[in-house]
Copies of this chain bind each other. A is one copy, B any other.
Amino acid sequence: MSSFEDMGFCKLDTDREQRTGFPEVVFGAGKTTEQIIEIVARLIERHGRAMVTRVTSEVGAELMSHFPDAIYRDISQIFTYGTAERVFPGKVTVLSGGTSDMRVAEEAAITAEWMGCEVERIYDVGVAGIDRLLAYRENIQAANVVIVVAGMEGALVSVVGGLVRRPVIAVPTSVGYGCHFQGLTPLLAMMTSCAAGISVVNIDNGFGAGYNAAIIQQLVAEAKDR
């Protein structure tokens, strides 16, 4: 049985670090700044580190004034305090289809880094210019885990899936228009990809992709330890 701490407005999963290797990460959207500050303070007290996603610039500035040693990144809208206790062997590669997918790609990259991964970024390599992508073939094949962030039709995932022997985590983004349906179209397309070795997370869920990559890397690290 795991335990938790009742903070009134929420029940903090305090032994999550022991259970999973990482403290609970806070989803910033829909929480007041006060609530976030209170949770972050408690997390730092208990674990020495904390991370909050989907933090707007305004909230980020307020958090920074409370926790001056923390880092707030505007592009990824992530607030972090402290760093991972260990760095896992091997690298995670994050690819993105276009310039506009960067917020989500960075959310994935920063998440993985904060959790202990070495991350390589290869952005704006959409398949409409296949040679741009293929120029990075060896880099991509050298990764332990590949994260592919793509809006529009999400075709990048299928091409990458065919190039590598490692797990590919696909993140559809809401970047597109018309019958793109805020990311539903690439989500469905990635699901029905003709390539094997792909699994998919929710639209714009860069955090989820980074988290998945990190627990695979943690598994690798712990397996090597044994």
Knowing A192-B180, A212-B197, A224-B223 touch, does A11 contact B132 (C-beta < 8 A)? yes
B216 x A167 contact (CB < 8 A): yes
Interface size on A, residues (CB 8 A): 96
Chain B, residue nearest A2 (CB): B131
B144 x A130 contact (CB < 8 A): no
A1 x B131 contact (CB < 8 A): yes
A116-135 interface code vs B (CB 8 A; 1 in, 0 out): 00000001111111111011
A146-173 interface code vs B (CB 8 A; 1 in, 0 out): 0000001111011101111111010000
B153 x A13 contact (CB < 8 A): no
> What B residues does A41 contact at CB under 8 A?
none
- Near B by CB (< 8 A), chain A positions 1-21 give 1-4, 9-11, 13, 16, 19-21
Give the CA-CA distance A166 to B214 in the complex, in Å.
10
